[in-house]
Amino acid sequence: MTVEARIRQEIEARIYSGEWKPGHRIPFEHELVAAYGCSRATVSKALSSLSNAGLIERRRKAGSFVAHPQVHSAVLEVPDLAQVIAARGGDYRWSLMNRRVETVVADFPSPALRIDGLHLESGAPFALEQRLISLGAVPGAADESFAAEAPGTWLLQHVPWTSARHRIRATEADRAEARMLDLRPRTACLELLRTTWRNGAPVTRVRQLFPGDRFDLIAEFKPDA
C-alpha cells in the first residue's frame, strides 16, 4: 500500500461513512503533509485522484471540499456481440445481407459503404445491423467483402482511435425488421445508434436493433476512477 493510496482510502472512508458530508472541508494539503509525514507532491497526487473521481472539489485559497453527489453519469458497456453471445454459451455468426457503395450520404463528406447484416446466436437472429462506413476515412474498407467478418470487428482492428456517440431508445420492429429478426410485428426492440469519428471526421454510423427480450445493456457508476 503506497502512501498516496493510504491517504486516498482514508479520505474515501470518511466520505462513504458519512463522517464527512458533502460540503465538508477536508484538511489542507499542508495539514495532510504533517499528518502523514510525506511530501506535498504525494498529498497532491492523492487529492487529484479523488478530484478526478468526482469525490472532492478543490478550490484555490479556500481548500478542498467533499463534492455533492451526482449520479448523473455511468460507464456503459457497449457490447461486442461476438463476446456477448460466446459468454452466454451460444454460437456466434454474422450473416451479410447487403453491401453496396452509396455516393451521397447525409453528414458524410465522401462516399460510403453500406453494409446490412444479421448477428446470429446459435442460428437464431440476435440483432439487425445497418451500417455506413466512410470510404474517405477508411479507404481499406472498399476491399473487404464483410461476408465472413462483421464490419464492427474489422473496424476495431483497422481504425486507430475514435470517439463515439450512442443513442439508445426503445422502438417497435416494423414488418420487414420483424421478419428478419423472426418476431411478431411491433415487438419492442432496443435500438442502438452509434456514430464514430476520428479527428472530427465521421468513420462509421451504425444502427443495431435488438429484440427487447434477448438483450439488455448494463451501465455502472463507481466513484473511483
Strand pairing report for 63-66 and 56-59: antiparallel
DSSP, res 23: T
Please say which residue, 51 or 153, places its beta carbon nearer to DNA. Answer: 51
**Order of strands across the sheet that contains 56-59:** 25-26, 63-66, 56-59
Rounded CA separation 91/27 (Å):
56
Choose the contact partner of 16 out of a copy of itself, DNA, none; CB within 5 to 8 A by kind: a copy of itself
- Assess 76 for contact with a copy of itself (CB under 8 A): yes
Asked if 30 is part of the footprint of DNA (rule: CB under 7 A), the reply reads: yes
Tell me, what amino acid is at 50?
L
Report what 179 binds from a copy of itself, DNA, none; CB cut-off 5-8 Å by kind.
none
String of contacts with DNA for each residue 42-61, x by CB under 7 A: x-xx-xx--x------xxxx
How does strand 112-121 pair with strand 92-102?
Answer: antiparallel
Rounded least distance, CB 224 to DNA, Å: 15
CB nearer a copy of itself, residue 83 or residue 122: 83
Q: Residue 104 Cβ, how far from a copy of itself at the closest point, in Å?
A: 26
Q: Which does 71 bind (CB under 5 to 8 A by kind): DNA, a copy of itself, none?
A: a copy of itself
Q: Does 73 bind a copy of itself (CB under 8 A)?
A: yes
Distance between CA 6 and CA 161 in Å, rounded?
35
Pick from 18, 37, 89, 200 the residue near DNA by CB under 7 A.
37
Which of 146, 159, 169 minimizes the C-alpha distance to 202? 159
User: Residue 60 or residue 72: which is nearer to DNA going by CB?
Assistant: 60
Task: Look at the block and give the residue holding cell 484555490.
Answer: 60
The smaller minimum CB distance to a copy of itself, of residues 71 and 106, is found at 71
If one asks whether residue 168 binds a copy of itself (CB under 8 A), the answer comes out as: yes
Q: Please report the sign of the dihedral spanned by the C-alpha atoms of residue 34, residue 18, residue 5, residue 67.
A: negative
